[in-house]
Amino acid sequence: MTGADRPGEFELIARVFAPLAGEGAFGLVDDAAVLTPPPGEDLVLTKDAVVAGVHFFPDDPWDAVAQKALRVNLSDLAAKGARPLGYLLGLGLPDGWRTEDAEALGRGLALDQDAYGLRLLGGDTVRSPERLMLSVTVFGAVPAGRMARRGGATPRDVIVVTGTIGDAALGLKLRLDAGLSGRLGLADADRDHLLDRYLLPRPRSAVAGAVLAHAGGAMDVSDGLVGDLAKMAAASGVAIRLDASRVPLSDAARAAIAADPALLRTALGGGDDYEIAVALDEDDCDAFVDACRDAGVAATPIGRAEAGRGVTVVGTDGAVMDLGAGSYAHF
Q: Is 223 annotated as a binding residue?
A: yes
Q: Is 220 annotated as a binding residue?
A: yes
257 and 263 in contact (C-beta within 8 Å)? yes
In a domain, 88, yes or no: yes
Q: Is 123 annotated as a binding residue?
A: yes
Q: What is the pLDDT of residue 4?
A: 53
At 206, which helix (H) or strand (E)? none
Q: What is the pLDDT of residue 2?
A: 46
- Has residue 3 got a pLDDT over 60? no
In a domain, 328, yes or no: no
In a domain, 50, yes or no: yes
- Has residue 230 got a pLDDT over 60? yes
Can you tell me the distance from the alpha carbon of 221 to that of 165, in angstroms, rounded to the nearest whole number?
9
Q: Is 174 left (phi over 0), alpha (psi -120 to 50) or beta?
A: alpha
Model confidence at 162, in pLDDT bands (50, 70, 90)?
very high
Q: Is 222 annotated as a binding residue?
A: yes
**8 CB contacts (<8 Å, ≥6 apart)?**
none
Can you tell me the distance from the alpha carbon of 18 to that of 320, in angstroms, rounded to the nearest whole number?
54
CATH code, domain carrying 67: 3.30.1330.10
- Has residue 155 got a pLDDT over 60? yes
Q: Is 42 annotated as a binding residue?
A: no
Q: Which of 143, 160, 190 is the last residue of a domain?
A: 143
202 and 71 in contact (C-beta within 8 Å)? yes
Number of structural domains found in the chain: 2
Q: Which of 80, 111, 143 is the last residue of a domain?
A: 143
Q: Is 328 annotated as a binding residue?
A: yes
Q: Is 31 annotated as a binding residue?
A: yes
Q: What is the pLDDT of residue 153?
A: 97
Q: What is the pLDDT of residue 240?
A: 98
Nearest to 198 by CA among 170, 177, 226: 170
In a domain, 327, yes or no: no
How many beta carbons lie within 10 A of that of residue 5, not counting itself?
8
Q: Is 228 annotated as a binding residue?
A: no
Q: What is the pLDDT of residue 6?
A: 84
* Shared-domain flag, residues 133 and 176: no
Q: Is 273 annotated as a binding residue?
A: no
φ/ψ of 311, rounded to 5, equals -125, 130
CATH code, domain carrying 292: 3.90.650.10
- Has residue 196 got a pLDDT over 60? yes
Q: What is the pLDDT of residue 59?
A: 95
Q: Is 322 annotated as a binding residue?
A: no
Can you tell me the distance from the alpha carbon of 299 to that of 285, in angstroms, rounded to the nearest whole number?
10
* Shared-domain flag, residues 85 and 205: no
What is the torsion angle, in degrees rounded to the nearest 10, for the CA atoms of residue 75, residue 77, residue 82 and residue 86?
-110
Q: Is 150 annotated as a binding residue?
A: yes
* Shared-domain flag, residues 96 and 208: no
Q: What is the pLDDT of residue 233?
A: 97
Domain range holding 298? 150-321
